[in-house]
Amino acid sequence: MTGTSLAPVPTSPLPVSPRPRGAVGALFRIEAVRLLRHPAVLTGLVLYLALWAYEWGTGALAHRYPVLQDEDRYSQVPLLLIAAGAFIGNNLALTRAQRSGVAAVTDLLALAPWRRTLAQLLAPLPLAILSGLLVGARIAHLAAAPGAVGQPSLLELATGPLVVLLAGVAGVAVGRLTSMVAVGPLVILGMAIFTLVGAVTLSRPMLKWWGLVAIEDEFEPPLPADLMYRPVASHLVYLAACAAVCCAVALARSRIDRRIGVTAVGITAVLAVVAGAGQSVTVPGDVAARRTVAEREPSAQQTCRTVGTVTYCAFRDFEGRFDQWSTLVGGVLRHTPPDRASDRYVVRQRLLFGATTSAVSISPPLAAWTADDARAGTPGAVPVGTKWGTDQIGGDAMLSFAGHFAARVVTGEPPTEASALSVCRSRAVLVLWLAATATEETTAALRSLLPRTGGSVILPLVDSSLALSIGRQEVSVVRSLLDRPADQVGQQVIANWAELTRPETGTERAASLLGTRVQGPAAEGARC
């Protein structure tokens, strides 16, 4: 106390009017602010934002054409970083008094332990709200991206913030069970493993919804919202029940009446199990029926718009794709003769359930599609899938659609096994060049695809087994053509259209007509 003079102790101005409820509120405010400033939470927030920036910088986050009913659930995984911070921060806050020896004093103060626990249980609320704002900002960012389609689900968006809240209260529950610092990270590790194992163990789908978030659908093609099935409402109830269990455990360990505590833990635990079991992983019958109709007879669920001579039909959530399809189709038709460009075409969106990027093995129901097109008065429609974007998957899908539309123009036939086989030699060169030069994005997509395919190109029809197969020789011609101005090549294409589109015209002849040469031998086993 050197150099410090002590003031006389004045009388406290305090009235003697205990207000434990107000104290809970005051303690909640202090703990909430401290949690928001906790290094673990700040680290989680920084990592979340850094990941967002990284995804944006690398293109992993859709710059263009996001599907909002998919993007809503993709927001959940990054939020686990903040949830981990909430768990650690709140756990350390609760055990602070024990770890620092302050409990010898604070345990003897007026505010009952259960009220302190209650304040700590409420402390993650502002962080959960902040997480909700971040999720909202992310989805708004995506919604503002060019070509955004669909509607995000509020329930999916709410899942991440609820997980943050759950993690915060779980930190309190664990803290009430043990004040050992090492337990927190171990619990986080366990939850992370459980969530990830549940998410990736597709052979045991029962597990996937028992974790914090279910993320296995990321590689599936986007679906219209009414055809999706994610038991997200049940999952929210399950998460809320888990949070209730944590609250009950934390309060039961806070010197409340033992019977009340045990009863509360028992009831909430039963609720959590029931809610967990209620997350049915089987697609309900009505959704499955709607999917079948949407796959085989989509016209009744679609709206159409005609732009010029082309009619586009899409599922309701994907009507925003009309302009993008129109731009691409316009790009293909730009380098075709006027009589072909003025023909009437139809583009119809198709779904193939079960098709994934890793297993292109689904045969398209061409007969059903043909019949449906006939009923709808749109025969010969060119299918387009729901994938679309500037990333690898979306780019491949764009290029495939451009190829199949170009094949429709070149062959004059709708996509069938036979028409696909007829796209070879000169036709293959022409189709691929028309597809690649349709837009800058399809050009980039082809350039991105080639290093992955060893020189040949396969353009599947909506992820099905029906595909245009273009050999190395034809691809090499297209590559050399892409080095020249498209309009210059386009004039040669239009001038030599008749010969270029004849099935018997060879690749070397096509190259010659377009002012270039074939490089390398034809691939062994190439069709035609």
Partner 1 sequence: MSHPAETTPGQLVAVDGLTLRYRRHTALAGVSFTAGEGVTGLLGPNGAGKTSLLRILATAMPPDSGTVRILDTDPLTTAGRLATRRRMGYLPQQPGFFPNFTAYEFIDYVAILKEITDRRQRRDETLRVLAAVGLSDDRGKRIKALSGGMRQRVALAAAIVGDPRVLILDEPTVGLDPEQRLRFRELIADLGEGRVVLLSTHQTEDVSALCHRVIVLDRGVVRFDGPPARLTALAENRVWHSAERSPQAVAAWRTGVGTVRNIGVPPAAADLVPATLEDGYLLLLDPSAATEVAA
Q: Directed axis angle between helix 154-177 and helix 124-143, to 10°?
A: 150
26 near partner 1, judged by CB under 8 A: yes
16 near partner 1, judged by CB under 8 A: yes
Q: Positive or negative, the Cα torsion across 51, 55, 57, 63? A: negative
Closer residue to partner 1 in complex, CB, 25/205? 25
Stretch that binds partner 1, among 6-14, 307-315, 345-353, 410-418 (CB under 8 A): 6-14
CA–CA separation, 205 and 359 (whole Å): 19
CA–CA separation, 250 and 271 (whole Å): 17
Q: Which of 6, 144, 182, 418 binds partner 1 (CB under 8 A)?
A: 6
CA–CA separation, 190 and 353 (whole Å): 34
Kindly give the pairing relationship between strand 467-470 and strand 457-460: antiparallel
How many other C-beta atoms are found inside a 10 Å radius of the C-beta of residue 106?
14
Closer residue to partner 1 in complex, CB, 107/499? 107
256 near partner 1, judged by CB under 8 A: no
525 near partner 1, judged by CB under 8 A: no
Extract the tokens encoding 64.
Answer: 């263009």
* Amino acid code (one letter) for 525: G
CB 324 within 8 A of CB 147: yes
Question: Under rule CB under 8 A, which residues in 51-110 are in contact with partner 1?
Answer: 96-97, 100-110
492 near partner 1, judged by CB under 8 A: no
Stretch that binds partner 1, among 5-13, 383-391, 400-408, 417-425 (CB under 8 A): 5-13
7 near partner 1, judged by CB under 8 A: yes
Residue 136 Cα distances to 41, 73, 158, 393, 508, angstroms: 19, 12, 10, 25, 55
Q: Which of 42, 47, 49, 111 binds partner 1 (CB under 8 A)?
A: 111
What's the DSSP call for residue 283? P
CB 453 within 8 A of CB 467: no
Q: For partner 1, what does the binding mask look like between residues 116 and 135, x meaning CB under 8 A? A: x-------------------
Closer residue to partner 1 in complex, CB, 17/358? 17
259 near partner 1, judged by CB under 8 A: no
Please count the residues of this chain forming the interface with partner 1, following the rule CB under 8 A.
Answer: 39
Q: Which of 5, 58, 203, 358 binds partner 1 (CB under 8 A)?
A: 5
258 near partner 1, judged by CB under 8 A: no
Question: Under rule CB under 8 A, which residues in 156-185 are in contact with partner 1?
Answer: none
Closest CA to 185 of 32, 355, 43: 43
CB 346 within 8 A of CB 373: yes
Closer residue to partner 1 in complex, CB, 30/193? 30
Q: Which residues bind partner 1 (CB under 8 A)?
A: 1-2, 4-14, 16, 18-20, 22-23, 25-27, 30, 96-97, 100-112, 116
